Structure 1
Amino acid sequence: MQELKEVKRTGNAVVYQTALNRLEQFCSNSKLKFTDINFTLLDSFSRHLTVRGLKPNSIGNYFRSIRAIYNKAIKAKLVDRLYYPFTEISIKTVRTAKRAITIDHIAKLSKLELRPNSKEWHARNYFFLSFNLIGISFTDLIYLKPDNIIKGRAVYRRRKTKKEYSIKLTTMAQRLLTYYRHTGKYLLPI
């Protein structure tokens, strides 16, 4: 997890740490050894999480994280592959329902009377800026710099996937970016 933080993959480090914390909490053991992690333990852990109300996708995230840590330990020769507990463990995911906002809700949000410069007012502006930039993630939005705006387009590389985007700025996006323009390093004062 420290290595992930060093290469600025803090999101993965947090996910791994959270999974590890849950497993250690379940086992009441912060000194868990790789050889202690076996099918029986993982199966009990899965049932424990289910009883606690976690959904299959959350449990799957924990198990994928623990498996990734285990795989790294094998590569680093910290544990022999002979002890690998995941061959009999099925990590399930369930397709989640689409949670798209309706056009009616967007219209209501745009007409909502909010006190200028309130937290809610800025949050709505950031939402509409993200919406107008085809759903740019909040992280990518706050890291936009003035040199990411080229000939009426937002050109940037997504931090998570490294995929490059070039998005035409709508009138609303231009208006919001002009409003938030300041002398800092980034486009938005966050």
Structure 2
Amino acid sequence: MRKEEDFVTGLLVYIVRLREKKRYSTAKSYQDALNSFKCFCGMEAIPYTYINRNRLLCYQSWLLDKGCSLNTVSTYMRRIRHIYNLAVEADGAPFVPNLFKDVFTGVESRRKKALPANSLRSLMGTPRVEPEMRRTQLSFCLMFSFSGMAFVDFAHLRRDNIKDGVLSYHRQKSGSLIQVEIPAEVRLLLDELAACTDKDSPYLFPFLSGKQTGEAAYGEYNKALCRFNRSLRSLATTCGVGEPVTSYTIRHSFATALREREVPIDVISELLGHKSIKTTQVYLKSFSLERLSAVNRACFESVYKTVSGVG
């Protein structure tokens, strides 16, 4: 095996490549994983030989003890694994069988981010909110009506994405083409929010200036996302909604509302622009207690009446 840079250097080189490809979000994810792993190891330089199965398991326990979710653990572990495997392929790190065995690299789907119907109605329908909060309420309504649109896609919509009453755009994350007909009542909400946008902006809605490029544009988007999530929390408080509300909540709630209406999962997946139905399944929380109880009661009654002769 030829001498190679250590893990930290290898990951930093990879981050530079990601930024050159304008994959700023992914680059940030790798940087976050690096910062976390360096903090755990207490080292600025981490030789590849320092990374072993026991140390990875200890790192996983360390993350969980700090309150990190399993999805965060998975993200960090997958970032470390990818850089390590690249080094193995370049003969810069030893191949270790089952190195990542028993560390979590999957998707934890038990977290329920979707809102119940009454909370959705409160967030979308509470009247007489302040002007700034009204913009947030309009955005919530529109993102939900646009098939649970992700905020990154919503913020980057342009006027030419709408033609003949149809919204068409490619998802930033997957590249999937999404097309949605805009009902008349939704068009009224769209026009109200669009009226808040600076006339010089290339975008449809008032989140981004359009004056930034490259990594600066990514930084502007991140700040806009943080502001939007803060505004959503304020809106939830005003509307008396106790559940946590973020931009992701809208997407999960849309998917779950469709599932409650027995819409086939492949249809939900296409509406969300997912490449895989497995991704859609992560978005879907369990059915509501009321729905499960009704189905369970109907099943029992249909059998019980038969065997007891009732009815």
TM-score range relative to shorter protein: 0.7 to 0.9
- 2:76 is aligned with 1:62: yes
Instruction: Report the Cα distance in structure 2 between the residues aligned to 1:56 and 1:24, rounded to whole angstroms.
Output: 19
CA contact (8 A) 1:35 1:83 kept: no
Specify the SS of the correspondent of 2:95.
Answer: helix
Q: CA separation of 1:85/1:24 partners in 2, compared to 1, >3 Å: closer, same or farther?
A: farther
Instruction: Report the Cα distance in structure 1 between the residues aligned to 2:159 and 2:28, rounded to whole angstroms.
Output: 30
Provide the alpha-carbon RMSD of the alignment.
2.1
Relative contact order (C-alpha < 8 Å, sep 6+): which is higher? 2
Higher mean C-alpha displacement, 15-24 vs 88-97: 88-97
Higher mean C-alpha displacement, 51-60 vs 129-138: 51-60
Specify the alignment match of 1:174 in structure 2.
Answer: 187
Unaligned runs of 5+ in 2: 1-14, 208-311
- 2:27 is aligned with 1:13: yes
Deviation at 1:29, TM superposition (A): 0.7
Read off the aligned partner of 1:133 and give its amino acid letter. Answer: F
- 2:183 is aligned with 1:187: no
Structure 1 length-normalised TM: 0.87
Specify the alignment match of 1:28 in structure 2.
Answer: 42
Specify the SS of the correspondent of 1:122.
Answer: helix
Instruction: Report the Cα distance in structure 1 between the residues aligned to 2:175 and 2:157, rounded to whole angstroms.
Output: 14
CA contact (8 A) 2:168 2:178 kept: yes
Cα deviation, 1:54-85, whole Å, max 9, x if unaligned, reads: 2322211210111122223334x262352577
What is the percent sequence identity of the aligned residues?
Answer: 27
Equivalent residues in 2 for 1:1-190, closer than 5 Å: 1-75=15-89, 77=90, 79-83=92-96, 86-91=99-104, 92-109=106-123, 110-116=125-131, 118=132, 120-179=133-192, 180-181=194-195, 182=197, 183=199, 184-190=201-207
Unaligned runs of 5+ in 1: none
Cα deviation, 1:77-119, whole Å, max 9, x if unaligned, reads: 2623525773534425432243322221222221243112x2x
Higher helix proportion, which one?
2
Q: CA separation of 1:140/1:52 partners in 2, compared to 1, >3 Å: closer, same or farther?
A: same
Instruction: Report the Cα distance in structure 1 between the residues aligned to 2:112 and 2:67, rounded to whole angstroms.
Output: 21
Pairs aligned (count): 187
Q: CA separation of 1:104/1:52 partners in 2, compared to 1, >3 Å: closer, same or farther?
A: same
Instruction: Report the Cα distance in structure 2 between the residues aligned to 1:87 and 1:58, rounded to whole angstroms.
Output: 16
Instruction: Report the Cα distance in structure 1 between the residues aligned to 2:128 and 2:159, rounded to whole angstroms.
Output: 30
CA contact (8 A) 1:49 1:59 kept: yes
Read off the aligned partner of 1:144 and give its amino acid letter. Answer: L
Q: CA separation of 1:80/1:69 partners in 2, compared to 1, >3 Å: closer, same or farther?
A: closer
